[in-house]
Chains A and B, each alone.
Chain A
Amino acid sequence: MNKRLVGFAILLLVACALPFFVSEYRTFQFTLVLIYSIALLGLNILTGFNGQISLGHGAFYAIGAYVAAILMDKAGFPYWATLPFAGAACLVIGFLFGLPALRLEGLYLALATFALGVSLPQLLKYHHLEEWTGGVQGIVITKPDAPDFVAELGIALNQDQWLYFFTLAVTVVMFVLGWNILRGRIGRAMMAIRDNHVAAEAMGVNNSMVKSLTFGISAMFTGVAGALGAIAVQFVAPDSFNIFLSITLLIGIVIGGLASISGALYGALFIQFIPNVADEISKAAPWAIFGLFLLAFIYLMPTGIAGAVRLAMARWQRKRQNP
C-alpha cells in the first residue's frame, strides 16, 4: 500500500516538473494526454469494470465540450466553473440513456451507443440549436490566463503551463474519485455484474440501478474531459466529435488495459502520440501504419499496457525474492 503511495507521489512530482522542461507545444500535448486519460477512465469504468460496451462515448465528450463552450460564450462563465455543469449534464444524460439501454446486452448495447455517437454531430448542426451551438461554424473560446494568485506566489506561468496544471489538478481529483468509487461498494457491485449478473442479482445487487448509475458516472468522467478539451483546444465544432473519436476512446482503453485505472493513462499516451508517429512514418498510408501498431500492441500485450507493466513488475519482484 505504501509502495503504491510512493509511486503515486513520484508520478505526480514528475508530472509537475514536466512543463518546465519541455516546450509549450509539448506541454499542450501532455495537457491533451491528461484530458484523454480522464475520458478513458470514464469509459473504462463502464466497459472494463462493468462489462458494458460503448461505441458512442465521443458523444458524451462532445456534450461536455459544448456545455463548457456555451456557458463560456453565452453566459460568460469562467472556464473553471463550467466543469461541474459539464459533468452534471453528462451524468444526467448518461443515466437517462442508460435506463432503456439496460435492456440491451453486449452487441446490442454497442449498436445503441454507436447510434448516439454517429447522430450527435448532426444534431449539433440542427438549426433550432444553432443559436447556441453555432452550427457547423462552432464556437471559438478564449484561452484562460494564469490567475493573479500564481503570479503573486512568484511563479510565472504562461497560458499553456497554467492550463496544464489546472488540468493536472482536475485529473488527480477525478482519478481519486474513480479509485474511491471502484474500490467501494458500487465498484464491487459493478464488477460482480460484469462477472456474473445472475449471481450478482442473487447477492442482492440492484442490477438495473447499478448499471444505469455506472453509465451516468462513466458519462460524467467523459463529459468533464470534454469540457477540459474544449478549453484547451479553444474551439468546438461538430466535426471535432465524429464517430472516430468514440472508436479512438475504445482503442485507448483496450490498449491501455481493460479494468485498470493506470491503463487510462497509458491508453491516453497511445491515442495522443501513436497517430502522430504513424503520420510521420508514412503520408501515403498513415492508417495502415497505425493498424500495424495496434496489432503489435495487441499481440505483444494482450492484457494492455497496464497488464504488461503488472506482469513485468511481478517478474522483477519474484527475481528479487529468490535470486
Chain B
Amino acid sequence: MKLKLVPIAALMAAVLASPSAMAQKKYDPGASDKEVLVGHINPYSGPASAYGTIGRAIAAYFKKVNEEGGVNGRQINMITYDDSYSPPKTVEMARKLVEQDKVLLVFQPLGTPPNSAIQKYMNAKKVPQLFVATGATKWNDPKGFPWTMGWQPNYQTEAKIYAAHILKTKPNAKIAVLYQNDDYGKDYLKGFLDGLGAKAKTMVVKQVSYEVTDPTVDSQVLQLQASGADTFFNITTPKFAAQAIRKAYDSGWKPVHYLNNVSAQIGSVLKPAGLDKSVGIITTQYLMDPDDKDWKESKAIKDWVAFMQKYYPDGNLHDVSNVYGYTVAQSLVQVIKQCGNDLTRANVMKQAASLKNLQTATLLPGVKINTSATDFAPIESVQLQKFDGTTWERFGEIMGN
C-alpha cells in the first residue's frame, strides 16, 4: 500500500513543481494553436485613401511571415476593413472586428479622428488598439487608456528634439513660431515650449497661428519676420508649409528654418515652394527613405525591395508609406513572438509595453523602439536632416530616447 502511493506522490510533486506546464497555452478570442487573428482598419477609399497602401503592405508582410512558417507556429491572419477615414464607419468596423470576427486585437487604425472615435469602446471592451497610425501625443496615456498605444514619434517628442537642437547649436536664438490653430499645431507648440523649458520665455519672441480656412499665411510670415527673429519653427501642413517657405525666402528673411515632419516632403512641399528657396531647411526622419542614396544599396532596403516585388508587386517602390507598413508589421510580429503561448489580450498589451531596444531593419540605424508600463510611445528617437537643394542630408546623431 505504501509502495503504491509513491508514484502518485511523485506525479503530484512533478505537477506542482511545474506550474508553467499548467499555465501554458492561454488563449483569448482570436487566438488558437493554429492562428492569431488580427483586425485592421484603414482608409482604402475616401479623402485619405492615399494611405490605403499601408494596409496592403501590412497584409503582404503577414503573407510573407505565414509562408515562412508563421510566428511560434501560428499563422497571422488579418481581417482588414475600409473606414473611408469616417469616424462613424470606424466605430462600426471596430465593433464588427471585436464582436463578430472576434479578433485578438485591432491593429493600426489610421488618423486621429477615427482613433478618437473608437478609443473609449476599445478600452471598455479591453481589446488592444495597438500601434495606431497617428502622431497625436494623447495615445501615450497608459493610466487613462491602458488598451491604446501609438507607434510613430509623436508631435511633442519631435518638437522637443528641435528645441534641444536649438539649445545646443544656438542658445541665444530668437525664435518665431508659426502654427496651425488646432490640436495638431498646439501639440507641437507644447512640446517645443516644454523642450525649451525656462528659456522659452526669452527665446520665443513671437508666436503666430493660422486657420486651416485661411487662404495664405503670407501676413503671418511677415509678422514673424518683423519680430526680428533669426530662427523659424514652421508647424504647418503641406500647403501652408510651401507658402511659408516661399514667403520667408522672398521677403528676404533668412532664418534658420525648422519644418515639422508632417510637411517634410520634397514632391508636395519643397518643389512647389521652390527647391532653391528650401535649401537649409531642417526636419526629422525615423524611417529609411528608399530613394535616399545612402540606403539604396543597404541590405535593409534591398530586402524590402525583394519583399515588395514578391508579395506586393503593384506597390510603389518610392512611397515611404510602404516602408512604414513593412516596419510597423514587423513590430507587431515581435509583440506576438514575445507573447509566446500566452495569447491573451492582457498579455498582448503587456508585451507591447515590454519592447526593449527593438531595431527593425528599415528604421534608421540607432532608432530604437522602447516601451514600458508607463511609456506607451514606441518610437521616440529621430534623426535631424537638412535639405541641400536636391535631397535630404541626415546629420548629427539619433536624438530622443
Contacts and interface: CB of A to CB of B under 8 A. Distances in A.
Interface of A: 23-26, 28-29, 32, 122, 125-127, 135-138, 140, 229, 233-235, 237-240, 242, 244-245, 275-276, 279, 283-284, 286-287
B120 A240 contact: no
A122 B99 contact: no
Nearest to A290: B45
A199 to B, nearest CB: 43
Contacts of B212: 122, 125
A286 B86 contact: no
Scoring A125, A235, A275 by chain B CB atoms within 10 A of each residue's CB, the highest score goes to A235
Interface string B90-101: 011001101110
Given A135-B183, A240-B87, A279-B82, A25 B95 contact: yes
Contact of B120 (A26, A135, A234): A234
Given A136-B112, A234-B91, A287 B86 contact: no
Given A26-B100, A125-B211, A229-B88, 13 more contacts: A24-B95, A126-B213, A127-B182, A136-B184, A138-B113, A138-B116, A140-B119, A233-B91, A235-B116, A283-B52, A283-B80, A286-B44, A286-B82
B100 A239 contact: no
27 contacts: A23-B99, A24-B95, A25-B98, A25-B100, A26-B100, A122-B212, A125-B182, A125-B213, A126-B213, A135-B183, A137-B112, A137-B113, A140-B119, A233-B88, A233-B117, A235-B87, A235-B91, A235-B116, A235-B117, A237-B116, A238-B113, A239-B111, A240-B87, A240-B117, A245-B86, A279-B81, A283-B80
Interface of B: 44-47, 52, 55-56, 80-82, 84-88, 91-92, 95-96, 98-100, 111-114, 116-117, 119-121, 181-184, 211-213
Contacts of A237: 87, 113, 116-117
A32 B92 contact: yes
Contact of B87 (A28, A233, A275, A279): A233
B99 A25 contact: yes
A300 B92 CA distance: 30
B181 A127 contact: yes
Contacts of A122: 212-213
Most chain A CB neighbours (cut-off 10 Å) among B46, B116, B121: B116
Contacts of A29: 92
Summarize B's interface: helix, strand, loop or mixed. Answer: helix
B44 A279 contact: yes
Contacts of B46: 244
Contact of B116 (A137, A283, A284): A137
Pick the most buried of A237, A239, A244, A286: most chain B CB atoms within 10 A of its CB: A239
Contacts, number: 99
Contact of A138 (B47, B81, B87): B87
Contacts of B181: 127
A136 B113 contact: yes
Nearest to B85: A239
Contacts of A138: 87, 113, 116-117
Contact of B86 (A25, A32, A240, A276): A240
Nearest to A288: B45
Contacts of A28: 92, 95
Given A122-B212, A125-B212, A137-B116, A239 B87 contact: yes
A23 B92 contact: no
A279 B41 CA distance: 11
Contacts of B116: 137-138, 140, 235, 237
B80 to A, nearest CB: 7
Nearest to B121: A234
Contact of B211 (A126, A245, A283): A126
Contacts of A135: 182-183
Contacts of A233: 87-88, 91, 117
A276 B89 CA distance: 10
A32 B91 CA distance: 12
A23 B97 CA distance: 13
Nearest to B95: A25
Nearest to A233: B88
A256 to B, nearest CB: 20
Contacts of B120: 140, 234
A251 B44 CA distance: 20
A284 B91 CA distance: 22
B183 A136 contact: yes
A239 B110 CA distance: 13
A21 to B, nearest CB: 15
B82 A283 contact: yes
Nearest to A229: B88
Contacts of B87: 138, 233, 235, 237, 239-240
B182 to A, nearest CB: 5
Contacts of B117: 138, 140, 233-235, 237, 240
Nearest to B97: A25
Contacts of B182: 125, 127, 135-136
A196 to B, nearest CB: 40
A57 to B, nearest CB: 16
